[in-house]
Structure 1
Amino acid sequence: MKKKIFAVVLALLTFIMVVFAASTQSSQVHDEQINELYVFGDSLSDTGNIFKATNGVYPPSPPYFQGRYSNGPVWVEHLSSKLGLNNTKNINFACGGATTISGSLNGIPGALAQVYSYTKNQQKLNPNALYILWAGANDYLFGATNTTSAIANLSNAVQSLLTAGAKTILVANLPDLGKIPATYNTFNSSNLSAVTSLHNSELIKSIDSLQQKFGSGSKIIQLDVNSIYREAISHPAKFDFTNVTSSCLSNVTSCSNPDKFLFWDSIHPTTAAHRILADAALKAISISR
């Protein structure tokens, strides 16, 4: 009888050890899958590149936070932290004012130019890194009314990264550009809303096409920023916001409760909103695995 009990206990312990080992291995694989972030885009992801390029002149700090276009860290920094990566593992090429182009506008390299500049100098990209691409807003805020060029530029950027060896890319769509403080009550609001909608639908088609082309060995994760903004504007209390229509910052004077605002200035979100975007990105990454 004792031998039978011992055998059962031994079998149970063996099972527990196997499950524990598998769980540990799974956790290690999860951690190893993303060991760096590479970020391409505009002011929504810029962690201080324009600030450095202008010798600390713009965006002015204060009231902006250490060269970010917000009152605190931006979403890619929050995401990096949530992934357990330190600052040296967050390589950021995003520039405030960038469009999607392959060249420069006002001396600022477009998102495609940022990608090209990086990939051309690399023999092979880190397959365990997460590559982030978020751009397009400035194309339309600067006057573009057709989505063809922006979508082609973003598609080319994704393709360039995948061809160079990237295995996981996260691409964000655009919030409703007709419903940000800078445009909400302007004559162009409805046009910007329409072009945003078209951009996002065309972006989905482009990403789906690229995913099919490169196959299951590559992942293109779509981050639906538009839905997050829409939900926040429709149900602010859900996100602990009390103001989702105006900006916290007025000239150089900040409101007393920025965490209650969706928008820091007339275009950019508060760091509280950036945290929400980072949470959504982390969830999208987890679902894709």
Structure 2
Amino acid sequence: MVRSKGYNLEHNFGHGETHLSMLKNTSLKTFANAAVTSAALLCVGVHNAYAASFNSISRIYAFGDSYSDNGAALQITTGAVKAGVPGAFIFPRLDVYDSDGRWTNNPGLTSVEVLAKQENLQLTDYAVGGAKSGNGNLSTWLDQYQDTGLFGQIEQYKTEVNRVADSNGLYFIFISTNDLSERFFYNQTGSVDALADAAVNNIASGISQLAAVGAKQFFVVNSTDLAALPLFEQYSQEAAKFRDVINESLPGQLDILNKQLGVEVALYDHVAISNKIRSTPARYGFTNINDACKLLYTTDGLEPGCSTPDNYYYFDEIHPTRRVHQIIGEDMANFLDTQKTTTVPEPSTVVALISCMGMISLLRRKVHSK
């Protein structure tokens, strides 16, 4: 069994007894943060400039991790256990999570499922809990059975469609969190910037791989607010840096792909909706937006947890409750509706957006270097 030092991976994915080690808290400079915030506000006016022009959508094809997994990890790990893969165990735990294998309270839907339901579209979901943005899984033993990373998911899709993609499909990609989780869980070193840049490149590569077989329409989700995750509380500065580098780099990368590949790409801002919920939690029925309803990564996982999970933002230390999935899925649907247009943003507007993001990137990198 592969375990991480300091984190209880098995109480998330199975069973075990390790505990989260205490690390030093870090914080950013208040004044520098204010400068970043001001720059971000200046960019609000051009945020919607990065838009797609989608034609009719036949179906949604989802690729990602546990934020979008609606049962794939359960099915794959069950197969691995039956096949006798060394170290294999079944996850997620059905005594804790949704009975169909979703990483949220039972019964629940993931955001992409809500999106599909709101749009009256069928969903084919390849997302797997623990998946990384390139190859492989956070649970490394699974790699010898199946590549469940983004590239592996895409290869599975390509095989199933005989390498002829549905040109009217909407290809949903939401992944990167486990790249950072792996760093923390396994005490890896190296540049957070480089790790984030690699994740962006992997997402871009995934789009290119799908476009090469005929995919035309993409719905990409940027990094969630990793600095707010209860599990990453002791790593908030690194988590914020990883989030920011991804979210600042993606627009430019997607613009390049749009021009080079002739594809339509819509970029959904996950941090924006998260901030909206956090700024007015009572409006959405939340009484706790900081703590996990049930502790699974940092304890033995046997505690009963809170009695009202739908009043919490987080179900465990990483994953949101079904209520959050519902809200974000509905917001994704509203955003998608704005992309069903023939209006193309003026080049000057796109340049303004990229320039704005560059200004934020410069300021944030100065913050993180302090």
TM-score band w.r.t. shorter chain: 0.7 to 0.9
SS of 1:94 mapped into structure 2: coil
Candidates 78, 97, 104, aligned match of 1:70? 104
Where does residue 118 of structure 1 map in the other structure? 157
Q: Which string of whole-angstrom CA distances, capped at 9 and with x for unpartnered residues, describes residues 60-109 of structure 1?
A: 11320021100111112111211223xxx321111111111135561252
Candidates 57, 61, 74, aligned match of 1:51? 74
For structure 2, the 5+ residue unaligned runs are 1-54, 79-88, 184-189, 296-300, 341-370
> 1:49·1:94 contact (CA, 8 Å) conserved in 2?
yes
> 2:225·2:270 contact (CA, 8 Å) conserved in 1?
no
Where does residue 9 of structure 1 map in the other structure? none
Q: Which string of whole-angstrom CA distances, capped at 9 and with x for unpartnered residues, describes residues 179-202 of structure 1?
A: 111112x1x211111111111111
Distance of 1:81 and 1:54 partners within structure 2: 27
Distance of 1:148 and 1:116 partners within structure 2: 22
Specify which structure has the higher proportion of strand.
1
SS of 1:183 mapped into structure 2: helix
Query: Cα distance, 1:49 vs. partner?
Result: 1.0
> 2:219·2:266 contact (CA, 8 Å) conserved in 1?
yes
Distance of 2:93 and 2:238 partners within structure 1: 31
Where does residue 291 of structure 2 map in the other structure? 246
Following superposition of structure 1 onto structure 2, how do residues 1-289 of structure 1 map, counting pairs within 5 Å?
33-55=56-78, 57-66=90-99, 67-71=101-105, 72-85=108-121, 89-103=122-136, 106=140, 107-108=142-143, 109-120=148-159, 122-143=162-183, 145=192, 146=194, 147-184=196-233, 186=234, 188-215=235-262, 218-250=263-295, 251-252=301-302, 253-289=304-340
How many residue pairs were aligned?
Answer: 252
Q: TM-score, normalised by structure 1?
A: 0.81
> 2:130·2:137 contact (CA, 8 Å) conserved in 1?
no
Distance of 1:96 and 1:237 partners within structure 2: 30
Identity percentage over the alignment?
Answer: 28
Larger relative contact order (Cα-Cα within 8 Å, sequence gap ≥ 6): 2
> 2:254·2:265 contact (CA, 8 Å) conserved in 1?
yes
> 1:112·1:154 contact (CA, 8 Å) conserved in 2?
no
Q: TM-score, normalised by structure 2?
A: 0.64
Distance of 1:142 and 1:235 partners within structure 2: 32
The list of structure 1 runs, each at least 4 consecutive aligned residues, that deviate by more than 4 angstroms after superposition, is: none
Counterpart residue identity of residue 230, structure 2: P
Where does residue 24 of structure 2 map in the other structure? none
Distance of 1:164 and 1:42 partners within structure 2: 23
Higher Rg of the two aligned structures: 1
Counterpart residue identity of residue 53, structure 1: I
Distance of 1:163 and 1:137 partners within structure 2: 26
> 1:223·1:280 contact (CA, 8 Å) conserved in 2?
no
